[in-house]
Amino acid sequence: MQDSVKPNGITPSQTVGPFFKYGLTPTGEYAWNDAFTNSTLTPDVTGDRVRIEGRVFDGDGVVVPDCMLEIWQADAQGRFADPQDKRALPNASFRGFARCGTDKDGNYSFDTIKPGVVPDPDGKPQAPHILLAVFGRGMLRHLYTRIYFSDEAGNAADPVLALVPAERRATLTAVREAGKPVYRLDLRLQGDDETVFFDV
Amino acid sequence: MTFIYPVDSNKAHPLPLSPDYKSSIKRAPNKPLIPMRHTLSELTGPVYGHETVREGDNDLTTQHTGEPIGERIIVHGHVRDEDGRGVPNSLVEIWQANSCGRYVHVRDQHPAPLDPNFTGAGRTVSDAAGYYRFVTIKPGAYPWGNHHNAWRPAHIHLSVFGHSFVTRLVTQMYFPADPLFPFDPIFNSVPDEKARARMVSSFDLENTQPEWALCYRFDIVLRGKNATPMENH
């Protein structure tokens, strides 16, 4: 039925709104189950387990308590759990996707593994990174950014970080806490220290 | 099938700053987005199938002991790419207000009644042809504080995944000929009239079930074109 219809464009985005929690991130507070959690960890996953956490701020520096964040990443060998990645995925049950709603103080956190190296279109290595999509009330379309890791030497040669003015790269770099597998990265939707967002 | 995702397709989306929608003023970036080539990270995406969805999750009228109050409707259509091909096995999540225009969310202050038999959340997976179907209740319009006498047109929120992380779409499905369209800054944040029309479902008499439920059709078009188009036309 209608299979030959050629669309005249894509469906436009609209804001996720303020009231998505009971549908997308209920976390036990509503009569609905979670399709996703804020963890990509599976029993058989290999690699360095890390936590990434931070807060989300608006242009006035006020915390954003109604954001939804989603991450997408490769496994520790740099391979994606998607058949479009033709390389074998050794971590059979690892999916590489997680979702988190910010709390009343704007906090988010993800439990995951540090991803491996993924090639760019020229075959050049990219430093370990996680894709991050930011949704929220007031945001008519979600924004895309990346999370890099402060303790990776490969950041200096990363072809995507190279596109970003040097003084703004810190907004993409999660900083490791001393002695713990925890990285911190705050997101600023607007302002002088605004997070770098990509046009993808 | 290999897909490409032209950035030009994104022109259908609203600009981040749409001042008539007041909440966008402090949440839209001031600095331009940085263009980059898509790498494998952008070109792949999460794959979620039937294991994510339970039997009956696409029927929002049967989640409680009784039936919800309101106008029972069927919402169905195809998830498609820009070439018109169905997008199979794509997770579709929906959430919405009840028939009185009240969300079950604890922070919704609209003094309209909650319905103990309606949560307003559902999910399904598109089939091999990209087809999806929900049964639900027609949501009501509701007031919001954006400006004096501001009312949102009735809508169902949708979240769709598609073939890659850059096809990710969160949008709202509207109902035909809603008188509130001209006054809604969220609907009108989409600059192009034809693109706005793609957010409006169409009444589907053919699939309306006699003595049971009206039907609305809504096709969801995600980014993505065949990377090797046919040249012989």
**Per residue in B211-226, pLDDT tens?**
999 999 999 999 999 9
B89 and chain A in contact, CB less than 8 A? no
Which residues from B are below 8 Å from A195, CB to CB?
29
Q: Where are the beta strands (DSSP E) in chain B?
A: 3-4, 34-35, 72-80, 91-96, 121-125, 131-137, 142-143, 151-152, 155-160, 169-174, 202-203, 214-217, 220-221, 225-226
For residue A34, give the chain B residue with the closest CA.
B52
Report the amino acid identity of residue B39.
T
pLDDT number for residue B230: 61
- Let me know: does B157 contact B34? Beta carbons within 8 Å: no
User: In this complex, which of B27, B80, B103 lies closest to A136 when CB atoms are compared?
Assistant: B27
Q: Mind telling me how many Å the CA of B132 is from chain A's nearest CA?
A: 13
Residue A18 and residue B14: Cβ atoms within 8 Å? no
- The per-residue pLDDT for range B83-123, each reduced to its tens digit, is 999 999 999 999 999 999 999 999 999 999 999 999 999 99
Residues A51-66: what's their mean pLDDT?
98
Shortest Cα distance, chain A CAs vs residue B212, angstroms = 23
Q: Quick one: what percent of chain B has pLDDT higher than 90?
A: 93
The pLDDT value recorded for residue A66 is 97
CB atoms under 10 Å from CB of B101, counted, come to: 19
SS3 content of chain A, % helix, strand, coil (to 5): 10, 30, 60
pLDDT higher than threshold 80 for residue A122:
yes
Smallest CA-to-CA distance from A119 within B167, B44, B166 is with: B44
Q: Is B196 helix (H, G, I), strand (E, B) or coil?
A: helix
pLDDT value of position B109: 92
Set of chain A residues whose Cβ sits within 8 Å of the Cβ of B12: 9-12
pLDDT of residue B145 exceeding 50, the answer is yes
B93 touches chain A (CB under 8 A): yes
Q: Are B72 and B123 in contact, with CB atoms under 8 Å apart? A: no
Cβ of A138 within 8 Å of Cβ of B23? The answer is yes
> Does the pLDDT at position B144 exceed 80?
yes
- Decide: helix, strand or coil at residue B170: strand
**The pLDDT of residue A5:** 72
**Cβ atoms of residues A174 and A108 within 8 Å:** no
Q: Any chain B CB within 8 A of the CB of A164?
A: yes
Check CB contact under 8 Å for A137 and B23. Answer: yes
The model carries a pTM of 0.96
Closest alpha carbon to B183 in B215, B228, B152, B155 = B152
Where residue A91 falls among pLDDT bands split at 50, 70, 90? low
Beta bridge partners of B125: B91
- Chain A interface, best mutation among B1, B10, B36, by max A CB count within 10 A: B36
Taking the CA atoms of chain B, what radius of gyration do you get in angstroms? 19
Helix (H, G, I), strand (E, B) or coil at B63: coil
Write the pLDDT tens digit of every residue in A17-41: 999 999 999 999 999 999 999 999 9
Residue A149: is its pLDDT beyond 80? yes
Nearest CA in chain B to A131: B41
What does A47-71 look like in DSSP terms, one character per residue?
Answer: S-EEEEEEEEE-TTS-B-TTEEEEE
User: Is the pLDDT assigned to residue A90 strictly greater than 90?
Assistant: no
Q: Are B27 and A64 contacting, i.e. CB atoms less than 8 angstroms apart?
A: yes
Q: Identify the H or E element spanning A24.
A: helix A21-24
Q: Is the pLDDT of residue B231 over 60?
A: no
pLDDT of residue A1: 47
Span B18-67, pLDDT tens digits:
999 999 999 999 999 999 999 999 999 998 878 889 999 999 999 999 99
